[in-house]
A and B are shown apart, each in its own frame.
Chain A
Amino acid sequence: DGGITQSPKYLFRKEGQNVTLSCEQNLNHDAMYWYRQDPGQGLRLIYYSQIVNDFQKGDIAEGYSVSREKKESFPLTVTSAQKNPTAFYLCASSGSGRGGTGELFFGEGSRLTVL
């Protein structure tokens, strides 16, 4: 089935450690996104990528890093510089181009807890 796969679903990290969240899609979408969601809140954009080997900062990029070496993959690293990393992280993709709509397809999320 086509879709977006995020892993791991749950992750625990000690303070000071970097952690990488995986996001893979087989929808042949050009654009991929990472959002952060805090309890009872909406989604905030961390990073997005419209094409392979290119990405842009969203509204809350500090303390995060990404790469886009393959069309299918857009991993997010939460670094030790992120002061409050405990959150629910959502990856999404969409078909890009002017004829598209920006409709997003989401993975099931990764819940990161810093101990």
Chain B
Amino acid sequence: SQQGEEDPQALSIQEGENATMNCSYKTSINNLQWYRQNSGRGLVHLILIRSNEREKHSGRLRVTLDTSKKSSSLLITASRAADTASYFCATALYTGGFKTIFGAGTRLFVKA
């Protein structure tokens, strides 16, 4: 089963604008991660936020986590055409080993 929902399913913006993607999940987590996937390729890890953290930054990425609402958001600032890709949130829970479950993803289109 999928861990949760991502919103929106697709997002189209102009270069230079900010992109915000949201993720909701259902179970307990140790951390939440965001990944990027270019069409037909494997996924690449972008950023991780632990369950006891509320916000994290990495370059043009900002991630927030609200464990009371079981939700997270990924903000990409000053988007570029090269940011066009699918973005997935994934929750990780340690139960003798990590089990990582993915959402359905948001497809981002950045127009030059």
Q: A90 touching B105 by the CB < 8 A rule? A: no
Residue of B nearest to A54 (CB): B97
List chain B residues, Cβ under 8 A from A111.
40
Q: A102 touching B40 by the CB < 8 A rule? A: no
Interface residues in B, total, Cβ within 8 A: 29
List chain B residues, Cβ under 8 A from A90.
42-43
Instruction: Say yes or no: A45-B97 contact (C-beta < 8 A), given A59-B1, A101-B48, A102-B92.
Output: no
B70-98, CB < 8 A from A: 88, 90, 92, 94, 96-98
Taking chain B's interface residues, is the majority helix, strand, or loop, or is none over half, making it mixed?
strand
Residue of B nearest to A97 (CB): B97
Q: B105 touching A109 by the CB < 8 A rule? A: no
Q: A105 touching B45 by the CB < 8 A rule? A: yes
Cβ-based interface call for A94 (8 A): yes
List chain B residues, Cβ under 8 A from A35.
102
Q: A31 touching B88 by the CB < 8 A rule? A: no
Q: List 6 A-B contacts (CB under 8 A).
A: A33-B100, A98-B94, A102-B31, A106-B44, A109-B41, A109-B42
- State the B residues within 8 Å of A (CB): 1-2, 6, 30-31, 33, 35, 40-45, 48, 88, 90, 92, 94, 96-105, 107
